[in-house]
Structure 1
């Protein structure tokens, strides 16, 4: 809100102009006030230097010969005549010349600085000598002790001879009251005494004429298509009369070239010198003239209320009704009446108006504006490809679900693949859209611009690309889109089949229809955290566990791991690293049982595809622990027979297979190398204390570093009651002396004994 923003002339009161002229006419710089002078170092004003400076400035103020013996008149007219027309730089230069003629070598800048410092200190001493504080203390400044001067915030040292010299021509200029000095501050370089409050005011500025205004906006030409006109509203009466409201889009760059010429009335100058402008008539009620910044934005509060998940999951039968139920009226976003009125039909399910000054601007900018705006990529010529619809689908569906979800949700997009572009099974092809909550793919989508002959349609693809790995979870969510038509659905398992249950369909071709998608997105977003939590309830007490059929792990620096139901694809950022890892697996080449192997490679994309697919999962009981260690030690026996060592064993490198029950395998052979090695080796990312054998950091190390890794697996398994025989194995494997550790074969036979003792029921 501003005072007639269209008017380009800045109005000033006579008092304001008087202050500006006084501040600009003072030649010496304004002295520092008391508070600022306390923060700088105290100045010591001594006679040998400052008396000549004072005499030089007396010449500037009163005129006279070069020896400084000018007349003692201090009349303002004489001084004004003497110095009128000189700039401060010219005066400083003349003062420096005066000092040089009297044997004091100072340049103009130094001389000017000395004068400013001296004048500020002189003001304090002069006010003390003429003020009431001196009468109370009963001492002149020159009789005060250093402590008393500091106590009264006076200069530490000011020579009396310098004071007498300055008093001759600067004293009359210090006789104004503190109030008058507040109005006109300065040292009066132009030779005029400080003006008091009774001085004659300056005349008002001349009236502003319409004909002399800036160019009229009707005559402006837009430079490009990005420039648009912006209307201005104004208050005609009331306490805000004379103020205008300019409305701009958030983040819009504004350039003002002129103002619109009024055709109703002409401007007239008032007696006070202000110009009364004709105001534009109201086009809307008063609420339109209140800027939106006056309204409070409670978007975060209402979002937090709507993000609260229900206490229980609705059944599959109730789901269709649940996703269409609007939120309670008290949780709907309040909007300004004019904004609410401009929304298309269907707005009442998520928005309302309020008699209070509330306006949820953030939700309008973040969610509603992208939904309602015209998508430039969707034209008659470009609407024939899937890519042209992606912006519409994301704005109306995926961004809304992510916004209302209480947990962090990652959305990943993948291009559509055909049988001609990939040889992967359909079940291992990523959906077009995947949404991850707690690393579980509980939201997915299939999209196409139109159904084509010979290709599966999105409703079929979303089912075919799903491998049910979520155990007893009742359902997960998804959608399939064909052009503007979008259908929300639930995916569930019935025996060995995947069932798709359609919940709600919307047509995104019009803004009113797009608003209808908000409620299903809001309801689905509230159920996704419940589904994620249910996957992890009592997970340690279960023999089997849920995991995600699709998974993506970003290792940083361009290294990414993507998992499908049957494959693991690793992407590398450098050709050198890709080639090094590939060389290791080529040497092993299926000769290691219970270990991953390369099944596909691409030097163009720097990717390696591995089998089998596994997931990180620690054993939930001692039987699983013994079984997992047996698979690990069998793999190590074969690896050590090839004179190779893994060197980085941990539960992140021992995975449970997803295609077989209770079978484990070793992966991550990036650090594998021939044994023995003579030089120290520190594994990147292996900062965990005690994970790696101590000899690896010293130098010579061999295959016994993997036996140390077996001991680490037992120690970090997370089980509370580890059997005594396993604790003995752990202690032997973690011996500091590698020569005293067992071999991998010894560990395997020890585990067989543990398993035999467990099956016989004897204590072990």
Structure 2
């Protein structure tokens, strides 16, 4: 969820905070604001404006203009921001993903002309009512959260039965939404499994927000709707339901980056119990055959340990298939792997009965997320997400590759050119256990690397020895051709996704030996001579081997490994052992 701070233009003391999922749209933000403030007009009539300036700055809550707004004044600085209204179809993550979170007003809210009830007193009263109502728990949601599944359903028949279960606590339904359900003759078993129309307690804003999206989604398809057009409907009926009901987050990937090979599902849901695992994913298209998104769901590298499956959906317009994705057991050697996708049930979002059917299914499906991800070891690296390092380098994780993009502040042409040369030498000399450079793009300042490894904690001495063996095999080959990594840390050592072997990544600091000193690396994590001497050699990597042993978090190292660590960390590089001698010592320890 993204927390945004909004200020109503022309209203005193009107700053409010609203939480909206990254995968939702600005239209959803309008509805959240209108619901929060209990406005008596349609949310679509609100106009929203970014406070971000052309230079990338945002309006600080301590700025003079923001302080003046608290008195109902509209300063000139604010008027200049009221030019380009935010498109309701824009996604929250795209507009606010990089926005600062502290002491910042993100959105200016303009109410329709002629509305006079937006005053300081109104805002205060609405906030008071909201706090009072928030104290009343959403009993039905709590019951779903507390529903502990001890035995996972395994077959599609068992899963279908689980998804059609009656809710342990029915959802209170009344007023306009109840009338819509009754007017469309949606009665019988589906209605009785979901709703309590005679509930004694009031319906909270959260419940109304969820039910509105399912029962009466505001969606205009048009004559020739695109995939972007359907995003609102899919978000309302699927993403928003999961984000409210299941403890987790959604992210939507607007592009599969086909030009770089960075494949990602269109939508990912991460449960907080293991928040780097995409336990539920979606593939979507506006038109065509259902086989296309179903096939896309098979493009998955199985990294889910003992979990029997993960979940997903395929969407073509308003037709939805909920599926399980299981590890394939029938791949022949050398054959490209396709994991097995099984359809649990099909749903039609065109009518209310279909939307209520998938709503019930998703509520029951959410009870399986926690026990499924509980069988998966933490991945270390979040699936399909993008991270930005402190130096501004953006790293986007796809299914089978990583795309690394350098900021304008870095000499990307030189970095990419050096990487090309270094990786070419490694490939020509068959250096083992190193990441592979798949492609480069000078114009986009990016490189594509593979595979996507797993960042796993070492559990015991044996695992540490196996990892050190693979690292040293790479170093022996590198040092033989006069290359050095220069940035060996556990962050740059990953396990292959489909075998118990380790490999080195991030050769941005790689160089030929000897090389001149550098001043941008940290003294505490790198050999002393790399920063202090006029030149340094491959011995900096040997010091890093000792540093890896020191920071492995494996306790009670054997005396032999303690001796190796001490030898590697010697300040004088000329007395450190070679990579070859270390490899022989580690292999001897493994053999014993």
TM-score range for the pair, normalised by the shorter chain length: 0.5 to 0.7
Asked if structure 2 preserves the Cα contact closer than 8 Å seen for 1:614 and 1:655, the reply is yes
Residues 657-676 of structure 1 mapped to structure 2, 5 A cutoff = 657-659=496-498, 661-676=499-514
* Corresponding position of 2:87: none
Aligned to 1:334: 172
Q: Distance in 2 between matches of 1:632 and 1:443?
A: 34
The reply to whether residue 624 of structure 1 matches residue 443 of structure 2 is no
Tell me: CA distance 1:527–1:583, structure 2 relative to 1, closer, same or farther (3 Å). Answer: same
Instruction: Show the counterpart of 2:553.
Output: 718
Cα distance in structure 2, aligned partners of 1:246 and 1:482: 35
Tell me the SS of whatever aligns to 2:525. Answer: coil
Deviation for aligned residue 1:477: 0.7
* Aligned match of 1:597: 436
1:639 Cα deviation after fit: 3.3
Unaligned segments of structure 2, at least 5 residues: 1-37, 47-110, 117-127, 332-338
Partner of residue 410, structure 1: 250
What does the per-residue CA deviation read over 1:630-650, in whole Å, with 9 as the maximum and x for residues that have no partner? Answer: 332233234344544322211
- The CA deviation string for residues 214-249 of structure 1, in whole angstroms up to 9 with x for no partner, is xxxxxxxxxxxxxxxxxxxxxxxxxxxxxxx99556
2:204 counterpart residue number: 360
Name the SS of the counterpart of 2:133 in structure 1: coil
Distance 1:313 1:577, change over 3 A: farther
Report the Cα offset of residue 456 of structure 1. 4.8
Aligned to 1:459: 294
Asked if 1:481 is matched to 2:315, the reply is yes
* TM-aligned CA deviation for residue 342 of structure 1: 4.5
- Counterpart in the other structure of 1:574: 408
Corresponding residue number in structure 1 for 2:396:
562
Matched with 2:143 is 305
Which structure is higher in RCO with an 8 Å CA cutoff and minimum separation 6?
Answer: 2
Between the aligned partners of 1:632 and 1:416, the Cα distance in structure 2 is 33
Kindly indicate whether the alpha-carbon contact (under 8 Å) linking 1:553 and 1:562 is maintained by their aligned counterparts in 2. yes
Per-residue deviation at 1:315? 1.8
Cα distance in 1 for partners of 2:160, 2:577 equals 61
C-alpha distance 257-448 of structure 1, shift in aligned 2 (>3 A): closer
Distance 2:180 2:41 in 1: 17
Q: Distance in 2 between matches of 1:567 and 1:295?
A: 49
What is the 5 A alignment of 1:229-308? 247-248=40-41, 253=111, 256=114, 296-297=133-134, 298-299=136-137, 302-308=140-146
Q: Summarize the Cα distance change of 1:741–1:528 in structure 2 as closer, same or farther, 3 Å threshold.
A: same
Q: CA deviation at 1:461?
A: 3.1
Are the aligned partners of 1:333 and 1:360 in contact in 2 as well (CA < 8 Å)? no
CA distance in 2, matches of 1:548, 1:702: 32
The one-character-per-residue Cα deviations of 1:525-544 (angstroms, maximum 9, x if unpaired) are 221122111113xx8xxxxx
Say which of 204, 212, 224 aligns to 1:369: 212
Alignment match, 2:92? none
Match for 1:388 among 221, 229, 233? 229
Give me the whole-angstrom Cα distance separating, in 2, the residues matched to 1:334 and 1:295.
18
Distance 1:698 1:303 in 2: 60
Change (3 A) 1:548 1:494: farther
Displacement, 1:338? 5.7
Whole-angstrom CA distance in 2 between matches of 1:446 and 1:257: 42
State the SS of the aligned residue for 1:436: strand
Distance apart, 1:490 and its partner CA: 1.4
Aligned-residue Cα RMSD (Å) equals 3.6
Task: Check conservation: 1:571, 1:606, Cα contact below 8 A.
Answer: yes
Separation (CA, whole Å) in 2 of partners of 1:513 and 1:292: 34
Residue from 436, 448, 469 that aligns with 2:285: 448
Which structure has the bigger radius of gyration? Answer: 1
Cα 1:632–1:626 shift into 2, 3 Å: same
CA distance in 2, matches of 1:434, 1:294: 31
Using a 3 Å threshold, how does the CA distance of structure 1 residues 602 and 402 change in structure 2: closer, same or farther? same
Counterpart for residue 239 of structure 2: 398
Q: Deviations over 1:34-71 (max 9, x none)?
A: xxxxxxxxxxxxxxxxxxxxxxxxxxxxxxxxxxxxxx
1:147-206: per-residue Cα shift (whole Å, max 9, x none)?
A: xxxxxxxxxxxxxxxxxxxxxxxxxxxxxxxxxxxxxxxxxxxxxxxxxxxxxxxxxxxx
Provide the C-alpha distance between the structure 2 equivalents of 1:293 and 1:423, rounded to a whole number of angstroms. Answer: 47
Match runs of 1:189-228 below 5 Å: none
The CA deviation at 1:680 is 5.1
TM-score by length of 2: 0.67
TM-score (ref. length: structure 1): 0.53
Aligned match of 1:81: none
